[in-house]
Structures are given as C-alpha cells and as structure tokens.
Amino acid sequence: MVKVLMRSIVHDSRKHAEMFQALAAMVQGLSESLKEEEYKLLDEAIRKHVEIEYDMMIFLKKLLEKLLMKG
C-alpha cells in the first residue's frame, strides 16, 4: 500500500509540475492563451477533479478511522 501511495504522489507531483510549466509559458507569451470555450471546459474539468479528490479524501478518512477503531 505504501508503494502504491508513493507512486501516486510522485505521479500527481509530475502532473502539477507540467501544469505550472504550461502556465508559466502562457504568462510569458510563449504559448497561446486559452480561448473562452477552452477556459470554460478547463474550469469545469478542474472543479470536477477537485470535487472527486475531496470526496475521495473524505471517504479515505472515514475508512481509516473505522480501521483504527478496530485496532
């Protein structure tokens, strides 16, 4: 379980780094800005992603609490 968790964290960190690099390039004018429709789709996708991750964190917290109570 620890190996899976660590691989997941590393993968997530790489994704974040790529997003920040893309954002930096956009701010520096090295890439095209998003079109209005692309921005809306991105906003929607990010909001859904955050919601799913939040729900998973709540689920895992409850599961962990249940497992710890069993002792």
Residue 71: the pLDDT is 67
pLDDT reported for residue 37: 95
Task: Determine the Cα–Cα distance for residues 66 and 63; give it in Å rounded to an integer.
Answer: 5
Give the pLDDT means over successive 10-residue stretches in the chain (71 positions): 86 91 88 88 94 94 91 67
Angle at 11 between CA 9 and CA 15, to 5 degrees: 115
Domain boundaries, the chain: 1-32, 34-71
Residues 11-28 pLDDT 10s = 989 999 998 998 899 888
